[in-house]
Amino acid sequence: MNTFSKNELTLESCMKLYKLAFEKADEIGFKIALTICDTGGNTKLFCRMDNAPLIASDISRKKAVTAVGFGMGTGKDWYEFIKDDPILNGGAHDINDFMLLGGGKPIYINEELVGAIGISGGHYSQDEACCDAAINGL
């Protein structure tokens, strides 16, 4: 029988990520929704700040799923990947749960994909700043 092993984020790591992201959102001055998923795209942790935009909940999930599904960040990383390819550019939006907007980042530990974080609630650059603060503090 052929099998393989893979590492995943622990709940403790997810809690640390969300706290760091929420601290950054408070520092910047906006409210976010955050989704952290495992490598299968399953929600590991979801949390929405009081008064965060309601639509941010689903957007944060889609950003996390996109980031883990392709192992690359949403936003500029994806845009650069598809901008000169008319087939990808035209078809990417038809992918179920795909989100091009910035604020989704894969999480790598020792060069191994272990999950992803998706944040929504502000301008995508603010969402990305919260992702970066969380991942860099892990």
Average pLDDT, the chain: 95
Find the mean pLDDT for residues 118-127.
98
Domains of the chain and CATH, by start: 11-137 (3.30.450.150)
What does the alpha-carbon distance between residue 136 and residue 60 come to, in Å, rounded to a whole number? 19
Q: Are 75 and 103 in contact (CB under 8 A)?
A: yes
Residue 17 DSSP code: H
Nearest to 61 by CA among 12, 132, 115: 115
**Rg (the chain; Cα; Å):** 15
Answer whether residue 117 shows pLDDT above 90: yes
What digits encode the pLDDT tens for the residues 62-87? Answer: 999 999 999 999 999 988 988 899 99
What digits encode the pLDDT tens for the residues 1-28? Answer: 799 888 999 999 999 999 999 999 999 9
